[in-house]
Amino acid sequence: MQKKSTKREIDGVFLLNKPLGFSSNQALKKIQWLFNAKKAGHTGTLDPMASGLLPICLGEATKFSHRLLNANKTYIATIQFGVTTTTGDQEGEVISEKEVIFNEVQLKETLQKFIGDITQIPPMYSALKFEGKPLYEYARKGIEIERKSRQITIYDIKLIKVEGSVTTLEVSCSKGTYIRTLAEDIGQALGCGAHLKGLERTQTGNFQLSDALSIEALEAIAVASREKILLPIDALLEGLSSIELTSTETEAIKKGQSIDFISKNEEELRLYSASGKFLGVGQPDLQGHLLPKRLIANIL
**Are 145 and 133 a contacting pair, CB within 8 Å?**
no
Tell me 3's DSSP state.
P
Distance of alpha carbon 233 from alpha carbon 208, whole angstroms? 16
Distance of alpha carbon 83 from alpha carbon 100, whole angstroms? 9
List the catalytic residues: 47
Beta strands in 82-229 (DSSP E): 83-85, 94-97, 116-120, 129-130, 133-134, 150-163, 166-173, 194-204, 207-208
Name the residue type at position 236: L
**Are 92 and 85 a contacting pair, CB within 8 Å?**
yes
Distance of alpha carbon 248 from alpha carbon 242, whole angstroms? 17
Distance of alpha carbon 194 from alpha carbon 66, whole angstroms? 32
Distance of alpha carbon 267 from alpha carbon 54, whole angstroms? 27
Distance of alpha carbon 122 from alpha carbon 180, whole angstroms? 9
